[in-house]
Amino acid sequence: MNEIKCKICGSIKIIKNTTITDFSHGNIEKNLSIYIQKTDNAFFNKSVKGEIQAQICGDCGNMDLKVRNPKELWEAYLKSKN
């Protein structure tokens, strides 16, 4: 089985795939995300969004972050460097 363990304390009590939510003005929920610009053209700005997911240890509180769509972000990153 593919069990995830905490890197700090070795616990298997891992809260998986939670999103990090920010409550902005008017209590509007916004999940924190990474944005990578696809072009440097200011009139044609496209960006790729990667929603941040967190895994939290239910024993020591250690938190690991990852994005939902790393491959898509990597593609956009490569394009943005041209």
Residues that bind Zn ion (CB under 5 A): 6, 8-9, 11, 57, 59-60, 62
Q: Where are the beta strands (DSSP E) in 1-82?
A: 14-19, 21-23, 29-31, 33-37, 47-57, 63-67
By C-beta, is 64 or 72 nearer to Zn ion?
64
CB of residue 6 vs Zn ion: minimum separation in angstroms? 3
CB of residue 52 vs Zn ion: minimum separation in angstroms? 20
Q: How many CB atoms lie within 10 A of CB 50?
A: 19
By C-beta, is 11 or 39 nearer to Zn ion?
11
By C-beta, is 61 or 70 nearer to Zn ion?
61
CB of residue 55 vs Zn ion: minimum separation in angstroms? 10
The four Cα atoms 10, 14, 18, 23 give a dihedral, to 10 degrees, of -80
